[in-house]
Amino acid sequence: ANFSEEVVESFPSDISTGIYYGWACVGNGDVHKMVLSVGWNPFYKNIKKSVETHIIHTFKDDFYGEILSIVITGYIRSEKNFRSVEALILAIQEDIEEAKRQLDLPEHLKLKEDNFFHLPEGKSVNH
């Protein structure tokens, strides 16, 4: 799930590029573990950042147009280039496993239940 350019520009300007982990919720759905990539976007000649969320869950349908709420709870590693697609895939798999381990810790697990993720009925909020 990629955030729009407008949302990315609202992120703190000093956020380091790299791989983060935390919690994500689509609309008023369940809260799931996630891995987040913050990096320079080659499409924009590396002058703009992109933010891509990998929710560790399989959804039955797409969720285009839904509100995606996230809480970043930790940092895994810095942004880097890879020599092959296989090396990239391996790194992504390792990042996901590290996120799962960290998010099972009590200090991170308690954030899954935060009221931040529960929108009042009939309310729409841009996060």
- For the question of residue 52 being annotated catalytic, the response is yes
Note the pLDDT of residue 107: 93
Residue among 5, 6, 9, 52 flagged as catalytic: 52
Write out pLDDT tens, residues 16-63: 999 999 999 998 889 999 999 998 866 556 677 889 999 999 888 888
pTM for the full model?
Answer: 0.84
Bigger pLDDT: 64 vs 95: 95
Write out pLDDT tens, residues 78-88: 988 888 889 98
Check: CATH 2.40.30.30 for 5-117? yes
For 28, 43, 45, 46, 71, the CA distances from 50, given in Å and listed in that order, are 25, 10, 12, 9, 17
